[in-house]
């Protein structure tokens, strides 16, 4: 089994695609005449005929909104406090009380704003072998696999993208370029022949289409894709700002109130990253040389230990149907009082070289059917993952409307499937960009975002990254309307906005939105990483003021080295003093090793946040205090690390660099900006690590001297005596 690196890695197989494209194109650059290497001269920019995509007119204020409460209250017999604290409990009376006691005195009339004026068998020459060693493709693979980019990957990106631009200008056809990519991939043993061919066919056409239409230098392109690991290159094509309405921000509180004990609450299930594999085969090869194993096509296992388990496997394998079914049955039986479900995407498996639109749609329909059957009558609020599209990460904005490359095939079907749980008012935004807003209860709204418009592996954003699908501007409109109506909002999505997979410019704008509406947004929920973790948000002008918390739920898929898991949240419910904050949360897992060993899985509660970390509440300030304790308390950090890996027996040890990375991930709700948030944390850990090393060294000297002193027959001069 391959050793898992001792720091977090994103779990979408977008890494394979980026690796192969960068590595292969970098190699292509070396077998061409040295005189034809324009990418070595970064100030030279080739002339490309390119026109700004024509943006369609979409008026946010004209779209229907969800204004009727979508969730009916249910009196669960096992709850001792499930009724409203006063009045007859009707929605109308409850809403009227909320309006009468609201703390933020804002105008009762709706204000709309406009800013029309603001546009927003190959034989290589000897020098190729040397160049391959120089580029260090293994290092590139490791960095992309773990989203830890350095100058090595940056160099490969610049060489590959520059060479691709050169090959396009030299008149190579799309078919020739795709064939070259496939051949080099196979002959360099980067992947198996079928994976190389599949990736080249699936992704080559899209990448070539985009590169032909952009006017970016290799420096600008790679800085855009890789982020701060490739330098912070100013790129005027991809610098933009959202527009806020002319409404003053409500005064912020010194700290949020702690939710009342024994008050009504909602019990919320969070499922993420199922990655259901319909082709999983027990006993097949789990240790193959492809991105996804545990299938009949993976071949026979070389040893009994390499065989795929009955309920899943810690190696690069996704979730068998029996495991998904068993988990849903367990949840339905154990948590009979669930009020609603958050479902944050990534349904298809990681066979990214072999996917079709038809197969991905079939998986979406089958998993939706499973959820409907297991949880009848329970509202489900879904968010779109990066694996739902075919090819993976491909989400063209609305202005890309050609039939053969438009994303409408996916969004139209999502509207049909999601309509089982969502009101009709969301159809316009779901079909436009797979995002929506629903009023769940009086004074409480859920907004689901399509985080693929911040995905830096979504090549379409190279054409124009300016607020794709106008999603963030719509988000501001919904939040401002919620602020006027005294509603609290929960935000759900797939890719966490502070993750390295999220574009820096998109994340920066999102961070500003969270800060502006900190009194309205009371929690955020994401998936994607497959780990059990969280992200912090702070006032951009005052990093001592935490203003929001993003909960990142564990994956159902064990891909890879993980136990399957899910989360349960307890959210402040309907009462006069409700905060809509998360009161507490539980993480539940299944020990995959024991399930395969004994033939039957047992799901159990791994931990409860407040009890495990001794937190008095789960406000942003409480999570910030926990971060400080994790930095200073090694024993507490090791507990967090255990839960982060979902108590996996395959988890590696965590050294000082690993600890810095994990805590910085928690602290950085804004992507590609670790230097801004993590300097203090890193210096504290370095200092503590230095103290630990010195303590170990001196303790070792003392013990050695004591040992020598206890041996009486040694000559005195060896003991330092004269």
568 forms beta bridges with 269, 586
Say if strands 265-271 and 340-343 run parallel, antiparallel, or are unpaired. Answer: parallel
Contact between residue 533 and residue 640 where contact means Cβ atoms under 8 Å apart: no
Confidence of residue 15 (pLDDT cuts 50, 70, 90): low
Average pLDDT over residues 374-387: 97
Confidence of residue 687 (pLDDT cuts 50, 70, 90): confident
Could you count the other beta carbons within 10 Å of the beta carbon of residue 128? Answer: 14
Is residue 275 part of an annotated ligand binding site? Answer: yes
Average pLDDT over residues 548-571: 98
- 157-161, 265-269, 655-659: which range is least confident on average? 157-161
pLDDT of residue 328: 98
| Dist. CA 481–CA 100, nearest whole Å | 18
pLDDT of residue 712: 47
With CA atoms as reference, report the closest residue to 71 among 262, 260, 264, 266.
266
pLDDT of residue 139: 52
52 forms beta bridges with none
Is residue 330 part of an annotated ligand binding site? Answer: no
Residue by residue, DSSP assigns 352-386 as TTS--HHHHHHHHHHHHHHHHHHSTT--EEE---S
pLDDT of residue 21: 59
Is residue 494 part of an annotated ligand binding site? Answer: yes
280 forms beta bridges with 295
CA atoms lying within 13 Å on the CB side of residue 292:
31
- Each residue's pLDDT tens digit, 582-596: 999 999 999 999 999
Contact between residue 562 and residue 555 where contact means Cβ atoms under 8 Å apart: yes
Say if strands 265-271 and 565-572 run parallel, antiparallel, or are unpaired. Answer: antiparallel
Residue 5, pLDDT > 70, answer no
Residue 81, pLDDT > 60, answer no
Is residue 183 part of an annotated ligand binding site? Answer: no
3-state secondary structure 291-334: CCCCEHHHCCCCCHHHECCCCCCCCCCCECHHHHHHHHHHHHHH
Is residue 530 part of an annotated ligand binding site? Answer: yes
Write out the two tokens for 352.
């990214």
- 17-31, 467-481, 593-607, 649-663: which range is least confident on average? 17-31
Residue 8, pLDDT > 50, answer no
| Dist. CA 20–CA 188, nearest whole Å | 11
Residue 400, pLDDT > 80, answer yes
Is residue 672 part of an annotated ligand binding site? Answer: no
What H or E segment, with its residue span, contains residue 621? helix 620-632
- Each residue's pLDDT tens digit, 307-346: 999 999 999 999 999 999 999 999 999 999 999 999 999 9
CA atoms lying within 13 Å on the CB side of residue 545:
14
Mapped onto helix, strand or coil, the DSSP state of residue 3 is: coil
Is residue 680 part of an annotated ligand binding site? Answer: no
pLDDT of residue 73: 79
Mean pLDDT of the chain: 84
- 497-506, 543-552, 572-581, 669-678: which range is least confident on average? 669-678
Average pLDDT over residues 411-426: 96
With CA atoms as reference, report the closest residue to 555 among 526, 582, 534.
526
| Dist. CA 85–CA 25, nearest whole Å | 65
Domain architecture of the chain: domains with CATH: 16-28+123-230 (no CATH), 265-280+318-682 (3.60.21.10)
**363 versus 91: which is more confidently predicted?**
363
Please, where are the H alpha helices in 102-136? 126-135
């Amino acid at each position: 089994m391959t050793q898992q690196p001792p720091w977090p890695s994103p779990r979408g197989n977008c890494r394979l695609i980026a690796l192969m494209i960068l590595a292969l194109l970098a190699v292509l650059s070396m077998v061409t005449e040295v005189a034809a290497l324009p990418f070595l001269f970064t100030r030279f920019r080739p002339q490309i005929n390119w026109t700004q995509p024509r943006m369609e007119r979409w008026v946010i204020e004209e779209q229907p909104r969800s204004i009727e409460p979508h969730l009916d209250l249910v009196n669960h017999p096992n709850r001792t406090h499930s009724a409203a604290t006063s009045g007859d409990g009707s929605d109308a009376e409850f809403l009227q009380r909320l309006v009468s006691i609201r703390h933020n005195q804002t105008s009762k009339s709706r204000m709309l704003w406009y800013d029309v004026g603001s546009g927003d068998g190959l034989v290589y020459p000897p020098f190729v072998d040397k160049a391959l060693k120089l580029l260090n493709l293994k290092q590139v693979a490791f960095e992309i696999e773990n989203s830890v980019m350095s100058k090595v990957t940056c160099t490969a990106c610049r060489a590959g993208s520059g060479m691709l631009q050169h090959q396009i200008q030299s008149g190579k056809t799309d078919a020739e370029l795709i064939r070259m990519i496939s051949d080099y991939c196979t002959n360099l043993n980067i992947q198996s022949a079928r994976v190389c061919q599949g990736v080249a066919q699936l992704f080559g056409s899209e990448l070539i289409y985009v590169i032909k239409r952009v006017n970016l230098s290799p420096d600008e392109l790679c800085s855009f894709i890789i982020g701060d690991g490739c330098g912070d290159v100013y790129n005027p094509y991809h610098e933009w700002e959202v527009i806020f309405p002319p409404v003053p921000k409500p005064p912020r509180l010194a700290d949020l109130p702690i939710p009342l004990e024994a008050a009504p609450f909602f019990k919320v299930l969070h499922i993420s990253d199922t990655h259901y594999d319909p082709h999983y085969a027990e006993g097949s090869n789990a240790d193959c040389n492809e991105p996804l194993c545990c299938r009949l096509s993976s071949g026979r296992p070389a040893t009994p230990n390499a065989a795929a388990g009955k309920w899943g496997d810690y190696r690069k394998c996704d979730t068998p149907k029996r495991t998904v079914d068993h988990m849903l049955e367990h949840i339905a039986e154990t948590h009979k009082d669930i009020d609603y479900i958050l479902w944050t995407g990534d349904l298809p498996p990681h066979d990214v070289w072999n996917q079709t639109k038809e197969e991905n749609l079939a998986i979406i329909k089958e998993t939706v059917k499973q959820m409907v059957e297991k949880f009848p009558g329970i509202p489900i609020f879904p968010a779109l993952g990066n694996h739902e599209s075919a090819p993976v990460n491909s989400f063209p904005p609305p202005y890309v409307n050609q039939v053969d490359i438009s994303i409408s095939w996916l969004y139209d079907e999502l509207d049909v499937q999601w309509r089982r749980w969502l009101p009709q008012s969301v159809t316009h935004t779901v079909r436009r960009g797979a995002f929506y807003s629903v009023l769940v209860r009086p004074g409480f709204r859920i907004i689901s975002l399509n985080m693929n418009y911040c995905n830096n592996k979504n090549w379409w954003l190279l054409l124009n990254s300016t607020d794709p699908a106008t999603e963030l501007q719509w988000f501001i409109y919904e939040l401002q309307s919620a602020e006027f109506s005294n509603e609290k909002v929960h935000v759900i999505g797939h890719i966490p906005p502070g993750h390295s997979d999220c574009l820096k410019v998109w994340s920066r704008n999102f961070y500003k939105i969270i800060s502006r509406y900190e009194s309205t947004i009371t929690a955020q929920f994401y998936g994607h990483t497959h780990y059990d973790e969280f992200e912090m948000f702070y006032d951009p002008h005052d990093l001592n003021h935490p203003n929001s918390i993003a909960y990142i739920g564990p994956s159902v898929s064990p891909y890879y080295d993980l136990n399957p898991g899910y989360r349960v949240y307890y959210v402040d419910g309907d009462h006069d003093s409700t905060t809509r904050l998360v009161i507490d949360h539980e993480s539940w897992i299944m020990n995959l090793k024991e399930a395969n060993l004994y033939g039957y899985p047992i799901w159990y509660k791994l931990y409860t946040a407040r009890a495990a970390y001794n937190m008095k509440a789960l406000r942003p300030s409480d999570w910030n205090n926990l971060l400080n304790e994790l930095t200073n308390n090694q024993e507490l950090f090791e507990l967090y690390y255990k839960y982060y890996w979902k108590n996996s027996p395959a988890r590696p040890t965590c050294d000082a660099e690993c600890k810095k990375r994990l805590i910085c991930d928690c602290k950085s709700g804004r992507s590609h900006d670790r230097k801004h948030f993590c300097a203090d944390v890193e210096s504290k850990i370095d200092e503590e690590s230095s103290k630990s090393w010195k303590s170990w060294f001196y303790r070792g000297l003392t013990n050695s001297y004591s040992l020598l002193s206890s041996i009486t027959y040694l000559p005195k001069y060896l003991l330092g005596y004269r």
